[in-house]
């Protein structure tokens, strides 16, 4: 697979990375299957693994940790996890629990999870806010790099990288996202200028782009991203993604335009639910 630089970190990753959100019972993936899928991914060269404590109440982190510990593979991978708490104290508690589930003494990357609004950003940056936890954890060696993620409004993440030199940003970069509040148009140029590593997510638009599976992956890989995470709940999905990534050729401008015209009907609130300000409800972090 093609490898790309990860922002200004000096690290490189293959264009395909592993979204561990789906290696859980909720997505009909058993623990045994999860362990097999993770190890197969590593065998095939995937080294970047994204998870979060909110994914199935910690089961995603727990299974990723078990998969790596069983064959002593922690040193082979880069682990990114998140905090959905907006306070210092709450975030540090989440990190402590994440490290236990992941069976590691550090994570390579810790993210402010899904910052949707300027108000949330202000909370994180305020005295006693989550950013204090990230800075303290880095100073203590519990994390190596500081990140932020966002699905909804690229202007929030633009403001974030003006306020702090984040090492990376995980943002929604499906072809459908191109059409509404486009991170590709609004966020990527400034992030690249600042040396921020960009991780693409929502590649399949919560399954809505499945009929165009290969094209959807090709579109996101063709953007100036460092890598793209794809959620995988079965060995068949992993193998399909690997085959597409290994044969990847960038889309031409005309190919991209033709694809966007083909999927333009998907640019509606029923599909792009994460673009809505009320997408995050009280139970979202449990449900996700």
Tens digit of each residue's pLDDT (9 = 90 or more) over 47-101: 999 999 999 999 999 999 999 999 999 999 999 999 999 999 999 999 999 999 9
Name the average pLDDT for the chain.
Answer: 93
Q: What does the alpha-carbon distance between residue 219 and residue 222 come to, in Å, rounded to a whole number?
A: 5
Q: Is the pLDDT of residue 287 over 50?
A: no
- Confidence label for 278 from pLDDT (cuts 50, 70 and 90): low
* pLDDT score, position 95: 98
* pLDDT, tens digit, 9 for 90 and up, residues 191-209: 999 999 999 999 998 889 9
Is the confidence at residue 166, as pLDDT, over 50?
yes
pTM: 0.93
User: Which ranges of 47-117 does DSSP label H, i.e. alpha helix?
Assistant: 59-70, 88-102
- Measured CA to CA, the distance from residue 107 to residue 96 in angstroms comes to 11
Show the tokens assigned to 41.
Answer: 């991914």
pLDDT of residue 215: 97
What percent of the chain is modeled with pLDDT above 90?
Answer: 86
Count of other CB atoms within 10 angstroms of residue 226 = 24
CA 193 – CA 200 distance, rounded (Å): 17
Give residue 140's pLDDT. Answer: 98
* Token pair belonging to 51: 């998870």
Q: Please report the sign of the dihedral spanned by the C-alpha atoms of residue 94, residue 98, residue 100, residue 101.
A: positive
pLDDT at 277: 62
Residue 84, strand partner residues: none
């Amino acid at each position: 697979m093609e490898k790309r630089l990860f922002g200004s970190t000096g690290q490189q990753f293959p264009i395909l990375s592993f979204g561990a959100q789906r290696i859980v019972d909720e997505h009909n993936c058993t623990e045994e299957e999860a362990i097999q899928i993770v190890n197969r991914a590593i065998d095939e060269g995937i080294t970047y693994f994204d998870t979060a404590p909110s994914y199935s109440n910690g089961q995603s982190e727990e299974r990723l940790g078990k998969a790596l510990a069983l064959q002593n593979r922690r040193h082979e991978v880069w682990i990114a996890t998140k905090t959905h708490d907006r306070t210092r104290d709450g975030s540090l508690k989440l990190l402590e629990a994440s490290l236990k589930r992941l069976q590691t003494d550090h994570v390579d990357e810790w993210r402010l999870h899904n910052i949707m609004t300027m108000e949330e950003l202000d909370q994180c940056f305020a005295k006693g806010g989550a950013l204090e936890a990230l800075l303290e954890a880095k100073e203590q060696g519990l994390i190596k790099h500081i990140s932020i993620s966002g699905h909804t409004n690229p202007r929030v993440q633009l403001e974030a990288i003006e306020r702090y030199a984040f090492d990376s940003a995980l943002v929604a970069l499906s072809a459908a996202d191109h059409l509404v509040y486009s991170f590709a148009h609004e966020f990527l140029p400034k992030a690249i200028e600042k040396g921020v590593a960009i991780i693409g997510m929502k590649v399949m638009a919560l399954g809505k782009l499945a009929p165009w599976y290969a094209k959807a992956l090709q579109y996101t890989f063709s953007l100036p991203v460092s890598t793209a995470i794809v959620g995988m709940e079965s060995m068949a999905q992993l193998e399909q993604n690997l085959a597409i990534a290994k044969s990847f050729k960038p889309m031409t401008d005309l190919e991209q335009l033709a694809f966007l015209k083909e999927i333009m009907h998907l640019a509606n609130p029923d599909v792009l639910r994460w673009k809505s300000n009320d997408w995050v409800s009280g139970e979202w972090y449990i449900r996700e």
